Chains A and B, each alone.
Chain A
Amino acid sequence: GESVGLHLPTLSVQEGDNSIINCAYSNSASDYFIWYKQESGKGPQFIIDIRSNMDKRQGQRVTVLLNKTVKHLSLQIAATQPGDSAVYFCADRGGSNYKLTFGKGTLLTVNP
């Protein structure tokens, strides 16, 4: 079936560096993409989303880039902080179905 995957299961960065987390999706009908952050012992928290009619969206210290040609999504975190340490999931929604298909997650570790 259709699925969303991640290129890197773990990412370790130094505090203050920029982080880039990548994601590939396979459903060409996907029209909406989300990045979630999950800290240990907590539920996923919304970070940023992007619709398929956009290729870039910026939030506070985060940017999501969407390349529909190669079905690739990335999350950029500027000036990464220890509090950014968590597992990051991308998810996509295909068509009018509200179902989200999640990737397996990338563990981001920020070293002080």
Chain B
Amino acid sequence: EAQVTQNPRYLITVTGKKLTVTCSQNMNHEYMSWYRQDPGLGLRQIYYSMNVEVTDKGDVPEGYKVSRKEKRNFPLILESPSPNQTSLYFCASTPLLPLAREQYFGPGTRLTVL
């Protein structure tokens, strides 16, 4: 089954404790992206990657890091989480061609930073 998976689905942590949220897709998509979803603010892009070893900042990159060492994986790293990073996170992927294609979303990771 074609899908985007994320782990963990739920995470409660404390301020300053480094964490990684994994994202993996099995559709051989070049483009991958991370979003956060907050009430009243919708989905905002954190980082994206056009292909292996190519990453770039989205609209709200502060406090986050990403890497793209393999085509299928795009982990989101919070080096020193803070309470304002409490949010619902989604990973998404899409092929570069054809140009007009939807992004496929993972099931989400609900993160709480105490």
Q: What is A's interface to B at a CB cutoff of 8 Å?
A: 1, 31-32, 34, 36, 41-46, 49, 51, 89, 91, 96, 98-100, 102-105
A100 contact set on B, CB distance < 8 A: 43, 45, 103
Cα–Cα distance between A46 and B105 once the two chains are bound (Å): 9
A-B contact pairs, 10 of them (CB 8 A): A32-B99, A43-B105, A43-B106, A45-B105, A46-B102, A91-B43, A99-B58, A102-B43, A104-B41, A105-B42
Q: B107 interface residue, CB < 8 Å from A?
A: yes
Cα–Cα distance between A47 and B42 once the two chains are bound (Å): 18
* With A49-B100, A98-B48, A100-B103 as contacts: A44 and B43 at CB distance below 8 Å: yes
Q: What is B's interface to A at a CB cutoff of 8 Å?
A: 4, 31, 33, 35, 40-45, 48, 50, 58-59, 90, 94, 96, 99-100, 102-108
Contact of B42 with A42 in the complex, beta carbons under 8 Å: no
Partner pick for A104 among B42, B96, B107, CB 8 A cutoff: B42
* With A98-B94, A99-B45 as contacts: A104 and B40 at CB distance below 8 Å: yes
Q: Name A48's closest neighbour in chain B (CB-CB).
A: B102
Contact of B102 with A89 in the complex, beta carbons under 8 Å: no
Q: Name B45's closest neighbour in chain A (CB-CB).
A: A99
Partner pick for B50 among A32, A41, A98, CB 8 A cutoff: A98
